[in-house]
Structure 1
Amino acid sequence: MNLLLESIAKHVSLSTEEQERVLSLTESRQYNAKTIVLKEGETCTHSFFVTKGILRNYTIDENGMEHVVSFACPGWWIADMYSYLTQRPGHSFIEVNEEAEVLLLSKENQELLYAEVPKMERFFRILIENSLVANQQRLIDNMSFTAEARYDKFSKKYAGLIHSLPQKQIASYIGVTPEFFSKMKARLLKRH
C-alpha cells in the first residue's frame, strides 16, 4: 500500500474512491540532497509528505546560526506551518538533507479535500493536535531537561535517522553548539 494511505489509515478509514481522490490531489516530486525547497520570506504553498529521504525545517538568526525546528523522515509531514496556514511569507527554510521523494499537497487542494473527503479534515486535525502536543513537550524539555536528557529523547524519537544526520544539525535541534555537543558525546561514550 502507498505510504501516504498507510499513514492516513492509522487515523481514519477511507473508501477506495476517497483514497483515489486524496492521491489525485497530491503531486510527486524528487529532490537532490541540499535542495532548499522553501526559503525564509517565501510563502509556503504546499505541505510535504516524505516517502523517501529526510527533510529539515530550520531558521537562521541574526548571527547566522541555524536553529533546527524539525526533521521529517518517511511517513512524516513537514511545512512552515505559520506560512502554510496564514499564506503569508514565512520565517524558516525547508531543506532536503538526503535525496528525497515527497508528495506535495497544496493549501488549495487540502481545502478541497476537507470539502470532498470530510474524513481528511479529521485526519489533519489529529496530526495538528499531535504536533501541538509534541511541540509543547519539546518546549518544556528545552526549559527543564539537561542537554544530555534532550539528546537521549532525540535519539529515541529519531532512532532510525540518528546516524544519517550531521552532528551539527542534531546539536542545533537539541539547542547546543556543535562544540558542546561533541564534548557531551565524548563524555557519554566514556560512561558507556
Structure 2
Amino acid sequence: MPGTPAAFDRRAALKAKSRKAILDAADRLMRERRSTGFSVDELAAAADVSRRTVFNHFDSLEAVVTAAAGRMLVDIVDAMEAEAAARPGESATVLGDLAAAGSADHLVPTVAYLIEVLGGMEQAPSERGAVLMQRAIALFTAQISAVITRRHPRVPERQAAFLVAAFSGGLLGLVEHWAAATGGTDTPASRRTWNDLLAELVEVLREPTD
C-alpha cells in the first residue's frame, strides 16, 4: 500500500538515488569541462533523469553546483574523522581537529580545483565564483560541526559552535589570501603558503583549554 513504511522507504531510496545521480553527473561535467558551463538539460541527460527531476531536488543549477562542490569538501571532513578514529589513543582539541581538517594536504587539491572550475577567488575574483565558494564552505562548516560534536561531547555545544564558525570564516579569508599569493594552484610551494596561513589562523583562534 502507498502509505506503508516499506513504500515510504522505497520512495526515499529512489529520491536519494536520483539526487546522487544528479550530483555525480554534475561532478563529471565539471571535471570534463573544467567549468560549470553546462545547462540543466545537459545535466539531466548526463544523470539520466528528467529536467523536472533535477528541479524536484534543486532550486537552480547554481544549487546543484554548490552541492557538488560542497560534497567534495564534506568528503574531506569524513576522511579526517576516519583518520582521527584510527588513532583513538591520541587526545585532540577542537581547534586541533579543525586545523587537521584544514591542512594543505587535505584542502589545497580540492580548493585549487574549485577555484579553476568556479572561476573565482583569484586576483580579481568573479562575484559568482566567490559566492559559490562561500556556499561550499558553508556545507563544509555544517559537516565539521557535526564531527566536532561527536568527537568532543564534553565541550559546551555553544562554545564548539562559536569556534567552528570562527574557523570557517577565517578559512574563507585564508582561501582569498592564499589564492592572491599563489594564483590558486596546487604546488609544493603553494601548500607551504597555505599551511603558513593556517598556522596564523590557528594562532589567532587558539583556545586556552578544551
TM-score (norm. length: structure 2):
0.27
Flag the structure with higher strand content: 1
TM-score (norm. length: structure 1):
0.29
Larger Rg: 2
Flag the structure with higher helix content: 2
